[in-house]
Amino acid sequence: MLMELDPSTRRTLRKALRNRNIRVGGAIVAAFVLMGLLAPFIAPYDPTKGNLRESLLPPCSKYPFGTDFAGRDVLSRVIWGARTSLIVSTVSVFIAVIAGVLVGGLSAYVGGWIDEVVTRIVDVMLSFPDILLALFVAAIVGPGLENVIVAVALYNFPQFVRIMRGSALQVKEMEYVEAARAIGESNASIFARYLLPNSLAPIVVHATLRTAASILTAAGLSFLGLGVQPPIPEWGQMMSDARTYLVTAPHVWIFPGVALFITVLGFNLLGDGLNDVLNPKMEV
Amino acid sequence: MLLTVDGLRVSYHTDEGIVRAVDGVTFSLDRRETLAVVGESGSGKSTLALSVMGLLPKTARVEGSIRFLDRELTTMREEELRRLRGDRMTIVFQEPMTALNPVFTIGRFMRDIYLTHREGSEEEALSLAREWLSKVKVPGPDKVLNSYPHELSGGMRQRVLIASSLMLEPDLVIMDEPTSALDVSVQAQILRLIAELKSQVEASFIFITHNLGVAAAVGDRVAVMYAGRMVEVASKEEIFSDPMHPYTKGLLRAVPKVSGGEVEPIPGSVPSLVNPPSGCRFHPRCPLADERCSEEEPELRKVRPGHWVACHKVSG
Amino acid sequence: MSDLARYVIRRIILAIPTLLGVSVIVFLMIHMLPGDPAQLLAPPEATIQEVEMIRRRLGLDKPLWEQYLIFMGNALKGEFGKSLFTGHTVSELLWPAYLNTLTLSVLAMGFGLVIGVLMGIYAALRPNTVRDQAVTSLSLFGISMPVFWLGLILIEIFSVWLRLLPSGGSGTPRHLILPSLTLGLVGAAYVGRATRASMLEVLSQEYVRTARAYGLPERLVIYVYALRNALIPVVTVAGLIFGYMMAGAVLTETVFSFPGLGRLIVNAIFARDYPIVQAGILVVATTFVAINTAVDILYAFINPRIRLG
């Protein structure tokens, strides 16, 4: 299959497979995705059912990560938590990418006052630093899985508008785009054939890095109690529960933290590696 | 002798193999003499300049000897070398646009050079800088001292760098293609300035260029480099009147003449420095080459006083 | 007027539409919530008459634009109405909490900058060696670290095991150490990455070679000639990081039960005490915009090239 690709794609692919960040990050991300997808099959116990008589057990042979205050298996909850993080982060980043690419690309392409307005709105949205925008949205829409997705998608949206707009502005000025316009190629076709492919590399890199940030933000919201609600297992929320037993049962907050940290690290490594290989001009 | 370079070899290990940027170069330079080094890019002329200055990257391997002011530079400690740099020997690079620190004024830069090498006050530093800026014909030296590099034109920046390189009255000034990045009209001005300054200072010059015409205009002697080696060294008169190496002849034919006539580029291209051709490195491009040229490497030998050539086809 | 003064003024004017946009969004919050704003702003036990009174008192019966002008007029005076439940005015609760968060962020920022810049230089001076890789990995760990988890770990180490520092609360400088360390470590990771990248870039520049070619001592070359250039992009990153710290304080303050703005906002969200939420978010966003404006101005001072633009 590798043979059917054109030489430059093949070269990029080979470079990607040799990149250590991509290999390590890719392996972690793959493990995370598999854990999320296969949670029902690999989790030893039901993550929502516990036995109060086995509350807060330290790690043992029966419960390798111990149990939480409700006697639920921490390992199973960590595994199921991957599923929650996977859903929240991928869906919200996906929504933000689609919306950001359309809005940013069109804004740059159309130009004029529309572009001016879009830029201003993005500036305003980016004035709410980091988790604050998600927190603001969560305060309006309330907690819950779907609402966290909305909040995190909105928090990512302006970033992708900005990136797409930046690279579309560059491509727009290229001679071949002007030539395409001169021979009467339709706007939709120019968008699909030139603007999108040329912006793909920075979008892919940024989507990977934003997935890392989104996992952290979603977990942060849940840690505050404004995100995914019990009984759905979620890493941030598990750590929030555990604060009460900080001293007596550190295993309850350590394991979900490790899972969260490694997952985010994986996406960051992958994003860094992709950035090295695709080497787009990154705009932060 | 001010400077004696003997059997200098500089190589780098890269992914492609060992690059021999300079491969056996020997020459010497008298006080107040100007040697023009000519070659295409990749001939090793800039590496030669950097190795004399001790500015090669740490990955470079240097063999042979460089004696300057009766001291061996190749084995000298970095700290001692640093004290020589900017004081006894200086270099002017090709690219004046990027050679000056964008966040500091010209005055700050020249002051730092002075205070690094001399005991003295800031006022003394600035007055010397002012004096040298006038000597290189910078209009309004006081204003220039307070200017940032981006506020000056390319020609003006190169004048600043020339002033900086002469300010402490060094024994050796290396100019590495000092005019190549400039506009043609500015090039001529700078060349004239350098010719003028040469008569005013005690320094010796190594002037590096890819243009044989420029070399003959500024040099007392001209050394022609090809693929890391010197192939011909002669006085500037003889290089023009009696070039001997086929490569030098080729270069001469490639110089545009005022009288018109055909410009003939040398066929072929500069060979790889990783796998240089066997024997004489020029033989694949040489019209005279025979079997011996592809097998045996010609030595640089004296054909008459002051004229050295490395070619099997030159008798004498 | 000098170019620089003109630039500073232009940059300040440029921030105004952004701030107006922020205030509109925050103002609209109460109208974006499901339900009747007057009902939302009334105490839960309020009667219908009381709700109507609140509606009239807050001008909620007036057109939207007029309501916004009233909101802005009050906000500019630093007045955000009364807390719905505590009986305090919003300002009474807001400013002490803001001061606490600001103290925390400034401490963390100072810590992050010092550690980050040193780390970045240390790595950039020997690229692709073991020590560079160690720094690079550490900073990647730092930016991947959930700040609340880091806080819990530091509590476990310094409060539970070593019993050196309080695990939460406020009042003494000792209470500031762990929260600012937590935030500062994450900040240091970002600053370290930015410094390393920018220092590597600068060290490959010709003017660094020129400085060496003139025999300037290595310390001058690195810590003055190169660093001064390398810090220019770091300043921008630092402005962004300060914003992240103010926002990240929401999580850190929760971990350490630290009475800052973040905790005030989160508690207000739970209590549906909307005037506090509005004021808190407005203040953080305004601070962020102000800091970025200040950073851009600082940028012009340390980067002479921008003043022409």
Residue of C nearest to A122 (CA): C18
Report the pLDDT averaged over residues C121-127.
Answer: 91
Q: A-chain residues within 8 Å CB-CB of C281?
A: 128, 132, 135-136, 139
Pairing of strands B221-226, B34-38: parallel
Structure-token match 């309080």, residue found: C166
Number of domains in chain B: 1
DSSP code for B9: E
Q: What is the pLDDT of residue B256?
A: 67
CA A65 vs CA A264, C156, C182: distances in Å? 20, 18, 26
Q: Where are the alpha helices (DSSP H) in chain C?
A: 3-32, 37-41, 48-57, 64-76, 90-125, 130-144, 147-154, 173-203, 206-213, 218-220, 227-255, 261-271, 274-302
CATH of the domain at B17: 3.40.50.300
Q: In chain A, what are the domain boundaries?
A: 8-278
User: Who's near B241: CB < 8 A, 6+ residues apart?
Assistant: none
Cβ within 8 Å, pair C284-A129: yes
**Residue closest to B209 by CA, chosen among B239, B243, B174, B162:** B174
The residue ranking higher by pLDDT, A45 or A266, is A266
Q: What is the pLDDT of residue B96?
A: 85
Compute φ and ψ for B303, nearest 5 degrees.
-100, -25
Considering only the C-alpha atoms of chain A, give the largest distance between any 2 of them, rounded to a whole number of Å: 76
Give the number of A-C residue pairs with CB atoms closer than 8 Å.
124
Q: What is the pLDDT of residue C43?
A: 73
Within a domain: residue B58? yes
Q: How far apart are CA A267 and CA B258, in angstroms?
A: 64
Report the pLDDT averaged over residues B21-44.
Answer: 91
Residue B108, SS3 per DSSP: helix
Residue of C nearest to B54 (CA): C213
Pairing of strands B71-72, B61-68: antiparallel
Q: How far apart are CA C22 and CA A125, in angstroms?
A: 8
In chain C, % of residues over pLDDT 70 = 98
Q: Mutating which of B59, B68, B101 best tests the C interface, going by the most C Cβ atoms within 10 A? A: B101
Residue of C nearest to A216 (CA): C146
Q: How far apart are CA C263 and CA C125, in angstroms?
A: 41
SS (H, E, C) chain A: CHHHCCHHHHHHHHHHHHCHHHHHHHHHHHHHHHHHHCHHHHCCCCCCCCCHHHCCCCCCCCCCCCECCCCCEHHHHHHHHHHHHHHHHHHHHHHHHHHHHHHHHHHHHHCHHHHHHHHHHHHHHHCCCCHHHHHHHHHHHCCCHHHHHHHHHHHHHHHHHHHHHHHHHHHHCCHHHHHHHHCCCCHHHHHHHHHHHHHHHHHHHHHHHHHHHHHHHHHHHHHHCCCCCCCCCCHHHHHHHHHHHCCCCCHHHHHHHHHHHHHHHHHHHHHHHHHHHHCCCCCC
Pairing of strands B172-176, B221-226: unpaired
Within a domain: residue B137? no
Q: Supply B154's token pair.
A: 């390319």
> Is the predicted pLDDT of residue B259 greater than 70, yes or no?
no
Q: What is the pLDDT of residue A26?
A: 93
Q: Find the range with the poorest average confidence among B72-86, B198-212, C6-20, C154-168.
A: C154-168
Average predicted confidence (pLDDT) for chain C: 88
Considering only the C-alpha atoms of chain B, give the largest distance between any 2 of them, rounded to a whole number of Å: 66
Q: What is the pLDDT of residue C103?
A: 92
Report the pLDDT averaged over residues C114-130.
Answer: 92
Find the length of chain A. 284
Within a domain: residue B242? yes
Report the pLDDT averaged over residues B198-224.
Answer: 91
Closest CB from B55, B98, B113 relative to C205:
B98
Q: Supply A231's token pair.
A: 């009984």
**Which subunits sit against C, judged by 3+ Cβ pairs under 8 A?**
A, B
Q: C-chain residues within 8 Å CB-CB of A143?
A: none
Q: How far apart are CA C190 and CA B292, in angstroms?
A: 63
Closest CB from C205, C215, C304 relative to B83:
C215
Q: Which CATH number fits domain A8-278: 3.40.50.150, 3.40.50.2300, 1.10.3720.10, 1.10.260.40?
A: 1.10.3720.10
Question: pLDDT tens across A83-103, in order?
Answer: 999 999 999 999 999 999 999
Type of residue numbered B82: R
Q: What is the pLDDT of residue A283?
A: 36
Cβ within 8 Å, pair A257-C240: no
Report the pLDDT averaged over residues C80-96.
Answer: 83
Within a domain: residue B39? yes
Confidence of residue A3 (pLDDT cuts 50, 70, 90): low
Q: B-chain residues within 8 Å CB-CB of C222?
A: none
Q: How far apart are CA B201 and CA B160, in angstroms?
A: 17
Average predicted confidence (pLDDT) for chain B: 90
Identify the domain containing residue B72 by its residue range.
1-77+215-256+265-306
Q: What is the pLDDT of residue A69?
A: 77
Within a domain: residue B41? yes
Cβ within 8 Å, pair A265-C266: no
Within a domain: residue B2? yes
Question: pLDDT tens across A164-218, in order?
Answer: 998 888 887 777 878 887 888 888 888 888 888 888 888 999 999 999 999 999 9
> Is the predicted pLDDT of residue C163 greater than 90, yes or no?
no
Closest CB from A124, A250, A264 relative to C18:
A124
Report the pLDDT averaged over residues A101-110.
Answer: 90
Q: Find the range with the poorest average confidence among A256-260, B104-108, B187-191.
A: B187-191
Q: A-chain residues within 8 Å CB-CB of C140?
A: 265, 268-269, 272
Report the pLDDT averaged over residues B256-277.
Answer: 73
Cβ within 8 Å, pair C206-B98: yes
Cβ within 8 Å, pair A132-C284: yes
The 10 Å Cβ neighbour count of residue C205 is: 18
Q: What is the pLDDT of residue C307?
A: 54
**Residue closest to A16 by CA, chosen among A278, A261, A243:** A278
Closest CB from B55, B85, B99 relative to C207:
B99
**Residue closest to A214 by CA, chosen among A85, A55, A74, A68:** A85
CB contact, 8 Å: A115 with chain C? Answer: no
Within a domain: residue B93? no
User: Who's near B224: CB < 8 A, 6+ residues apart?
Assistant: B38, B39, B212, B230, B231, B232, B233, B239, B245, B247, B248, B251
**Residue closest to B269 by CA, chosen among B43, B37, B48:** B43
Closest CB from C156, C251, C284 relative to A223:
C251
**Residue closest to B284 by CA, chosen among B272, B300, B268:** B268
Residue B175: strand pairing partners = B92, B207
Average predicted confidence (pLDDT) for chain A: 86
Q: B-chain residues within 8 Å CB-CB of C210?
A: 93, 99-101, 161
Q: What is the pLDDT of residue B261?
A: 60
CB contact, 8 Å: A130 with chain C? Answer: yes
Q: Are B114 and B164 in contact (CB under 8 A)?
A: no
Q: Mutating which of C3, C201, C214, C302 best tests the B interface, going by the most B Cβ atoms within 10 A? A: C214
Reported pTM: 0.86
Q: A-chain residues within 8 Å CB-CB of C33?
A: 140
Type of residue numbered C92: E
